[in-house]
């Protein structure tokens, strides 16, 4: 996010919370998109990722003792969307779990880099410590997704070729 | 006190049937965020559309919706706003619906300057009908349905809007839903006819448009209320320059005194033989 750097742990964790909210909502949307196009396997995978990000969101709420969502209305990401949010344009209706997990891996790496920048910034020590902890969490997520990816070999070229392409969705 | 709504409150339970990767998902995202930011209520907003992939949007919001006739979304939106000035009217559609079939309505909606917002999701192709060139398609776009391209010069919606009298003109990109939401908020709040041209990739028939996210130039256009300055800015427009081009001061159209809020029975009486 730009314009305003967090000066307190409360503010910093509100950023982290906003990131998880956006990521969870997007994964849920992507699951719906895949379900609409009868790609059940990838739909279930995105739904699982949505649940995982939702759990992270709830963990932040519990950790901070918040009973209501923090005010993030003045926040702006440095990038068009949050670092853990999948770009809509990355999807394809024939995509396979490998592709979905590669997107998730990319998101987790960006999230780790995002927190690493805060950990290295000129910020109060407690904010930098919280950022370092969040960065380590995200690096752990990268490792988990790498393990998950090992179960899915990279699809061969031509995976996106459809002999009977849908021209209209309905 | 009424509890503030979030963007999810403005989404309906109907799941979009657009192709995964379609830019229009970002427009629903941005539109619902914008409505929440403005603290509007779904029952006070009407989303009107014509025909085409993007014109499905009313069904995906929890607002009042009107999925109308091809190219006639602006006519329906104009009538609605005149009859119910209390509603926030948002007209939506695509480049084919808005610039070809509805091209004439576009000109006159700009000229009339009724207080409503027109969001056009421009993917430079007719997606729903299998990929024919639209008014904004590049002249050299080679496809099965237009071998070697049409050779026709593109329609320039922002220039047309400016010259026809639109009071607010902007271009945004659907790959930045948060930025697009901010532009929609400005457009809705600006009095008169607001036009937002949204670059919205069609990944099925124009897969090369996935690269738009690398091409667009955020904040390349700076807002002005000087129409001559806005026109000069358009002379060096790349088609991917984003921002608010023009925010004018023209008074929005409103029915004159005795004609406003007239009961339908009064009108009926005039036509009774």
Residue ranges per domain, chain A?
9-67+86-149
User: Comparing C-alpha atoms, which of A117, A115, A121 is closest to residue A134?
Assistant: A115
Q: Is residue B13 part of a domain?
A: no
Interface of B with A (CB under 8 A): 8, 15-23, 25-26, 29, 37, 53, 128-131, 174-179, 201, 203-204, 210, 213
Contact B203 A33 (CB under 8 A): no
The model's confidence at residue B257, banded by pLDDT at 50, 70 and 90, is low
Above 60 in pLDDT, residue B93? Answer: yes
pTM: 0.94
Above 70 in pLDDT, residue A170? Answer: no
Q: Is residue B173 part of a domain?
A: yes
Contact B175 A76 (CB under 8 A): no
pLDDT at A72: 85
Closest Cβ opposite residue A80 in set B129, B175, B201: B175
pLDDT at A73: 78
Listing from the earlier edge strand, what are the strands of the sheet with B64-67? Answer: B64-67, B45-49, B88-94, B116-122, B193-199, B168-173, B241-247, B217-221
Does the CB of A80 have a partner CB in chain B at under 8 Å? yes
Q: Is residue B149 part of a domain?
A: yes
Instruction: Give the residue from chain A lying closest to B210, CA to CA.
Output: A89
Domain encompassing residue B93:
18-270
| A20-24, A134-138, B206-210, B259-263: segment of lowest average pLDDT | B259-263
Contact A37 B18 (CB under 8 A): no
C-alpha distance from B66 to closest chain A C-alpha (Å): 19
Which element (helix H / strand E) includes B45? strand B45-49
| Rounded Cα gap, residues A78 and A76, in angstroms | 7
Report how many domains make up chain B.
1
- Phi-psi label, residue B167: left if phi above 0, alpha if psi -120 to 50, beta otherwise: alpha
Please list the residues that pair with B168 across neighbouring strands: B194, B247
A148 burial (CB, 10 Å; 0-12 / 13-18 / 19+) is middle
Contact B20 A29 (CB under 8 A): no
Confirm or reject CATH 3.40.50.300 for domain A9-67+86-149, answering yes or no.
no
Q: What is the pLDDT of residues A65-89, one digit of tens each?
A: 999 999 887 778 888 999 999 999 9
CB neighbours (10 Å) of residue A24? 22
Contact A34 B20 (CB under 8 A): yes
Q: Is residue B49 part of a domain?
A: yes
Phi, psi of A19 (to 5 degrees): -65, -45
Closest Cβ opposite residue A37 in set B20, B23, B178: B20
C-alpha distance from A165 to closest chain B C-alpha (Å): 9
Q: Is residue B7 part of a domain?
A: no
Within 8 A of B203 by CB-CB distance, chain A residues are 89, 92
Please list the residues that pair with B90 across neighbouring strands: B47, B117
Which CATH number do you get for residue B145?
A: 3.40.50.970
Q: Is residue B88 part of a domain?
A: yes
Within 8 A of A25 by CB-CB distance, chain B residues are 8
Strands B168-173, B241-247: parallel, antiparallel or unpaired by DSSP? Answer: antiparallel
Q: Which two tokens mark B73?
A: 């979304």
Q: Is residue B148 part of a domain?
A: yes
| pLDDT, mean over chain A | 93
Arithmetic mean of pLDDT, A38-52: 97
ipTM, two decimals, is 0.92
Contact B15 A32 (CB under 8 A): yes
Contact B130 A169 (CB under 8 A): no
């Amino acid at each position: 996010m730009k314009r305003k750097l967090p000066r307190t742990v409360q503010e910093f964790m509100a950023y982290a919370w906003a990131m998880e909210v956006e990521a969870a909502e997007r994964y849920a949307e992507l699951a719906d998109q895949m379900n609409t196009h009868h790609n059940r396997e990838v739909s279930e995978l995105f739904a699982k990722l949505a649940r995982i990000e939702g759990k992270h969101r709830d963990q932040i709420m519990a950790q901070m003792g918040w009973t209501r969502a923090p005010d993030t209305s003045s926040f702006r990401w440095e990038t068009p969307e949050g670092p853990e949010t999948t770009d809509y344009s990355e999807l394809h209706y024939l995509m396979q779990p490998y592709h979905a997990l590669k997107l998730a891996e990319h998101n987790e790496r960006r999230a780790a880099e995002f927190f690493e920048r805060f950990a290295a910034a000129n910020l109060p020590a407690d904010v930098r410590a919280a950022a370092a902890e969040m960065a380590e969490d995200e690096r752990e997520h990268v490792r988990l997704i790498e393990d998950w990816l090992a179960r899915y070999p990279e699809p061969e070229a031509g995976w996106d070729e459809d002999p009977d392409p849908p021209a209209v969705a309905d | 006190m009424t509890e503030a709504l979030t963007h999810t409150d403005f989404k309906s339970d109907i799941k979009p049937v657009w192709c995964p990767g379609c830019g229009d998902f970002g427009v629903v995202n941005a539109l619902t965020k914008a409505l929440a930011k403005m603290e509007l209520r779904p029952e006070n907003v009407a989303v009107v559309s014509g025909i085409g992939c993007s014109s499905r949007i009313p069904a995906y919001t929890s607002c009042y919706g009107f999925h109308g006739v091809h190219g006639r979304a602006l006519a329906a939106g104009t009538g609605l706003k005149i009859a119910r000035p209390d509603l926030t009217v948002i007209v939506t559609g695509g480049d084919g619906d808005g610039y070809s079939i509805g091209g004439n309505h576009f000109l006159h909606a700009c000229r009339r300057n009724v207080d409503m917002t027109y969001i056009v999701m421009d993917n430079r192709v007719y997606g729903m009908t299998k990929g024919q060139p639209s008014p904004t398609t590049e002249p050299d776009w080679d496809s099965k349905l237009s071998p070697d391209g049409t050779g026709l010069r593109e329609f320039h919606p922002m220039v047309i809007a400016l010259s026809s009298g639109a009071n607010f003109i902007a271009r945004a990109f659907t790959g930045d839903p948060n930025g697009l939401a901010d532009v929609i908020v400005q457009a809705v709040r600006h009095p008169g006819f607001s036009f937002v041209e949204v670059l919205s990739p069609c990944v099925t028939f124009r897969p090369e448009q996935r690269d738009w996210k690398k091409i667009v130039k955020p904040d390349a256009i700076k807002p002005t209320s000087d129409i001559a300055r806005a026109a000069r800015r358009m002379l060096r427009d790349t088609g991917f320059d984003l921002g608010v081009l023009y925010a004018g001061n023209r008074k929005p159209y409103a029915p004159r005194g005795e004609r406003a809020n007239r009961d339908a029975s009064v009108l009926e009486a005039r036509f009774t033989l």
